[in-house]
């Protein structure tokens, strides 16, 4: 790719970008959210067309007119945001875009479709049933289906945009085996990830983008995490994952949120915990441990079968998210796209949705006061957008997440439930979100935060709870918690 430029609505997002991709290499594409990585890859895959510049593929200049044309030439994409059809089966999603096998009567041969799909899934070590609907899958399982779909084509170039964001360590290891196999077969892979350990484990070379501009390209062996972060965000690695905004909170007085023997109809089993004003409690555990299910039960999304929830010492009966909101509980969900955002609406509409009724007078919206409130949140949370009228899907992942947080802050919550608050967010935006969370706690908010990233849990939390198979296995103070201890309990061990 040579001298690539791209603008949206007058905003320049790529300026004179050059990228060289070689056969049989894993090339890490790195930069903050909003640096232009996904836009560049969408140009490579034919989703966008560049305003200027050239794409030279296997020695010939190309101009893709559609993603199907690019895919037909051997370029496949695993997108950062899951883009499956939830009402269809795994088999239909994986083979979508191909010609379905039919019998002599013209009827689709479903057994053949599911047989082919099973072979693809087994090739990446998955035992998922191809007949299951995608809507029945967890986020991690959906990510596996995304990967299988991309690998079902005989690709010569494979773009992987945050492919491991929702995978367990075991699933990541399986994916790396597949990547190494593809590399040996000569497939060129663009690998986008914010996880430094992955970058240094799997990639051969790297390219750094910042603010839509090329910063550097070099073999991964010639750099280190500190240098990469400095090139990406302009500051040192030691500024990340550290709570420096308030002293360690000592739980005292009455807890804001208390759970007593809470169970749901599925995985959550007899969970008891307390969270105090101004405290950030980290909830750690492996995928499937029940952390998200616990959050959903507290917020009234899923039904509790037994147990008690207390707010400020008083039992409450929360049967729906509406009731949770009335009690001052806010919930930032795990998946922004499917659960957190209104993708067809603007920044303004997304941010003010929960409190829109407060700005209605005589059936007419009071835009002046509403816009003033939105601009205040934009400034306070550091949201970067062309305007409050911009479509929310045109923003980076970090800015989208800040908008979801802003919407919930608008209800003036007492308790903030955060489920993977920095999933798919770059290191610079992570630091900004961590600062926001810590500043909210300083103001007295009680925070329960689910995170699969142990440095995040250790850096931001005042206390850490560890779950395994629906049960709490340990409670660790900030001083005694280590990655090794958390993983010890997360895998089901009980320390004597």
For residue 328, give the CATH number of its domain: 3.40.50.300
267 and 228 within one domain: no
Least confident of 16-30, 59-73, 191-205, 243-257: 243-257
| Distant-in-sequence, close-in-space partners of 414: CB < 8 Å, separation ≥ 6 | 256, 257, 311, 312, 327, 328, 329, 445, 446
Q: Are 452 and 287 in contact (CB under 8 A)?
A: yes
Q: Which residue has the higher pLDDT, 294 or 339?
A: 294
Boundary-marking domain end, from 202, 234, 266: 234
397 and 264 within one domain: yes
Q: Is 357 left (phi over 0), alpha (psi -120 to 50) or beta?
A: alpha
Confidence of residue 310 (pLDDT cuts 50, 70, 90): very high
Q: Are 478 and 461 in contact (CB under 8 A)?
A: yes
Q: Please give the Cα distance from 96 to 236 (Å, whole number).
A: 44
Q: Is 335 helix (H, G, I), strand (E, B) or coil?
A: coil
Range of the domain at 193: 2-234
Q: Which residue has the higher pLDDT, 121 or 232?
A: 121
pTM above 0.85, yes or no: no
Q: Please give the Cα distance from 238 to 236 (Å, whole number).
A: 6
264 and 374 within one domain: yes
Total domains, the chain:
2
Please report which helix (H) or strand (E) contains residue 42, including its range: helix 37-44
Residue 451 lies in a domain: yes
Question: Strand 314-316 and strand 304-311: pairing?
Answer: antiparallel
Distance from CA of residue 103 to its chain's centroid?
A: 41
Rounded to 5 degrees, φ, ψ at 19 are: -145, 130
Cα 105–Cα 110–Cα 115 angle in degrees, nearest 5: 130
Boundary-marking domain end, from 171, 203, 234: 234
pLDDT per position as a tens digit, 15-37: 999 999 999 999 999 886 668 88
Question: Is the CA virtual torsion 308, 314, 317, 322 positive or negative?
Answer: negative
């Amino acid at each position: 790719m040579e001298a690539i430029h791209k603008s949206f609505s007058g905003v320049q997002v790529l300026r004179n970008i050059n990228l060289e991709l070689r056969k049989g290499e894993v090339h890490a594409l790195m930069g903050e959210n909003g640096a232009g990585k996904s836009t560049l890859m969408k140009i490579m895959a034919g989703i966008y067309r560049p305003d200027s510049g050239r794409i030279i593929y296997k020695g010939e200049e190309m101009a893709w007119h559609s993603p199907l044309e690019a895919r037909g030439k051997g370029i496949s994409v695993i997108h950062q945001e899951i883009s499956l059809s939830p009402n269809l089966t795994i088999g239909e999603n994986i083979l979508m875009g191909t010609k379905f096998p039919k019998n002599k009567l013209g009827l689709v041969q479903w057994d053949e479709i599911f047989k082919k799909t099973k072979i693809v899934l087994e090739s990446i070590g998955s035992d998922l049933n191809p007949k299951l609907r995608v809507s029945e899958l967890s986020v991690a399982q959906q990510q596996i289906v995304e990967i299988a779909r991309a690998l079902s084509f005989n690709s010569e170039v494979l773009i992987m945009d945050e492919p491991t964001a929702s995978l367990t360590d075991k699933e990541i290891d399986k994916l790396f085996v597949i990547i190494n196999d593809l590399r040996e077969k000569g497939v060129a892979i663009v690998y986008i990830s914010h996880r430094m350990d992955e970058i240094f484990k799997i990639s051969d070379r790297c390219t750094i983008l910042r603010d839509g501009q090329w910063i550097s390209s070099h073999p991964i062996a010639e750099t280190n995490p500190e240098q990469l972060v400095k090139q990406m965000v302009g500051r040192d690695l030691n500024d990340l994952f550290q709570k420096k905004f308030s002293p360690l909170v000592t739980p005292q007085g009455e807890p804001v949120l208390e759970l007593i023997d809470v169970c749901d109809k599925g995985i959550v089993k007899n969970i008891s915990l307390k969270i105090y004003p101004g405290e950030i409690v980290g909830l750690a555990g492996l995928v499937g441990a029940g952390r998200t299910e616990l959050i959903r039960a507290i917020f009234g999304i899923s039904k509790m079968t037994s147990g008690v929830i207390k707010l400020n010492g008083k039992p409450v009966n929360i049967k729906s998210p509406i009731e949770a909101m009335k009690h001052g509980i806010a919930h930032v969900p795990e998946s922004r796209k499917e659960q957190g955002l209104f993708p067809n609406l603007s920044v303004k509409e997304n941010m003010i949705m929960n409190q829109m009724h407060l700005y209605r007078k005589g059936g007419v919206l009071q835009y002046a006061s509403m816009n003033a409130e939105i601009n205040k949140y934009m400034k306070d949370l550091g949201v970067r957008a062309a305007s409050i009228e911009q479509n929310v899907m045109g923003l980076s992942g970090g800015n989208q997440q800040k908008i979801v947080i802003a919407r919930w802050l608008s209800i003036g919550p007492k308790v903030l439930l955060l489920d993977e608050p920095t999933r798919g967010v770059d290191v610079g935006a992570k630091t900004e979100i961590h600062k926001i969370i810590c500043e909210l706690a300083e103001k007295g908010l009680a925070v329960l935060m689910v995170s699969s990233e142990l440095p995040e849990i250790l850096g931001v939390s005042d206390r850490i709870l560890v779950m395994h198979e629906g049960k709490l296995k340990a409670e660790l103070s900030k001083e005694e918690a280590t990655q090794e201890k958390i993983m010890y309990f997360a895998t089901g061990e009980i320390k004597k």
